[in-house]
Structure 1
């Protein structure tokens, strides 16, 4: 999914690749599920299931950083969070519980993401799940013998350890949706005048029979952002608009 900037341009791709590359298909292989997650105004926690479909145990380090968008350019910058301060009740952000996961081969572990602090506005976080070869500094509680055995297992073949990230959007406590949709023939304009993101999913241009369509695209439209699309002549737009728990299927600006 794309996340729009204040100017309506695409600012961010949610999928993140973090590579520790040696080369083969042996070893752990994690799957983080949805790459875009939301914590609604009524909730403070998000439970993510992290799967390991590989043939070796995955030792996964979890890191969280806040994404802040420049008010003028919409350019995102990442700011690492102080986990110890958050645990002590200081500051605003997401705490990963636990901060490290040990996932057996073909197994699953649940990672709970807990938001703490002010919810005066919508906030955005990147959560990275990074498989590592554990050592004494990683804090997985292994003794030297176990660590060496794991390293020998990984080094026995050529192994790829690939991490993934997900974007977590935390909605404000007093959520207000105010989406303005305007369309005229082949033109579509969607403005988010509320204080929480809306999701425009499955956007595609089709002929008027709605049978011959282009490839669909999903866009997260942040507060203050605007999406504008123009299709070829004699084409219409087909898409869904989600505001919180409410979803509407739309075509050229009309409910269907």
Structure 2
């Protein structure tokens, strides 16, 4: 009998899990260009049978002297990055756009972790009231909520005077991309394939080269390397053969 109870409990818990909202934040990386002060991020509730309240948490990413990233809370959002609204309602099967605006100093590039955390009001809560309350509210919630899995993205804020200076050093054995500018450069959709055998390509990867950093790969005889080099609005497809 206890075994039967376990099966029933498992089925019920599975149904409850499927009823949770399933949010999708789209691209994991966003960028505020040098001539912009904000960017709009869209959050989708793709299903699961449940509407969702979503909370936005913003942390700034700094680097130690050894280059190790650390995330710290923002003390003064009005001089940094702010999410508007920082709590919002997303009906099931729908989406909501939020604005990420930066108002601090831009003498150098800044980096932020933006986390979207879905919340579910407990059954005793009135969800319609929650929608009215959190649609545009910037205040902390007063309804009792359950915290689900969060989704973290990264936002790059380019400096006001952005300079791209990407150097390429290539020899018979290696290929090096150096970022000597003051803003992030992207090596997108990088693939390593035996020539003429696209089915044997390694999975595509994406690399962000921060100022002063480089990306290097060895060139194997008979291999072909493809990637897209992105410097702000400049996009260039590159093919390198070993």
Counterpart of 1:227 (choices 186, 194, 215) is 215
Query: How far did 1:186 drift?
Result: 4.5
Bigger share in helix: 2
Please give the per-residue CA displacement for 1:113-154, whole angstroms capped at 9, x wherever unaligned: 010110000010000000123489xx9538xxx957xx7xx8
Q: 1:184 aligned to 2:171?
A: yes
1:184-226 Cα deviation digits (max 9, x unpaired): 2452101000000000012122334474532221101000001
The corresponding residue for 1:118 is 105
Moved over 6 A (4+): none
* Contact 1:203–1:238 (8 Å) recurs in 2: yes
Establish whether residue 162 from structure 1 lines up as the match of residue 149 from structure 2.
Answer: yes
TM-score (norm 2): 0.79
Are the aligned partners of 1:185 and 1:252 in contact in 2 as well (CA < 8 Å)? no
Q: What are the ranges of 5 or more consecutive residues in structure 2 without an aligned counterpart?
A: 1-12, 135-141
Aligned length: 211
Q: Which moved more, 1:23-32 or 1:196-205?
A: 23-32
1:29 counterpart residue number = 22
Q: For 2:91, which of 104, 110, 115 is the aligned residue?
A: 104
Which of 1 and 2 has higher RCO (CA within 8 Å, sep 6+)?
1
5 Å-filtered alignment, 1:1-256, equals 24-54=17-47, 55-70=49-64, 72-82=65-75, 85-87=76-78, 91=79, 93-134=80-121, 141=133, 161-209=148-196, 211=198, 212-252=200-240
Matched residues in 1 for 2:237 and 2:178: separation? 17
- Aligned-pair RMSD on alpha carbons? 2.6
How far apart, in 1, do the equivalents of 2:52 and 2:24 lie? 11
- TM-score normalised per structure 1: 0.75
Unpaired runs of at least 5, structure 1 = 1-21, 155-159
Asked whether the equivalents of residues 29 and 161 of structure 1 are also in contact (C-alpha less than 8 Å), the reply is no
Q: What is the Cα deviation at residue 106 of structure 1?
A: 1.1
The structure that has the greater radius of gyration is 2
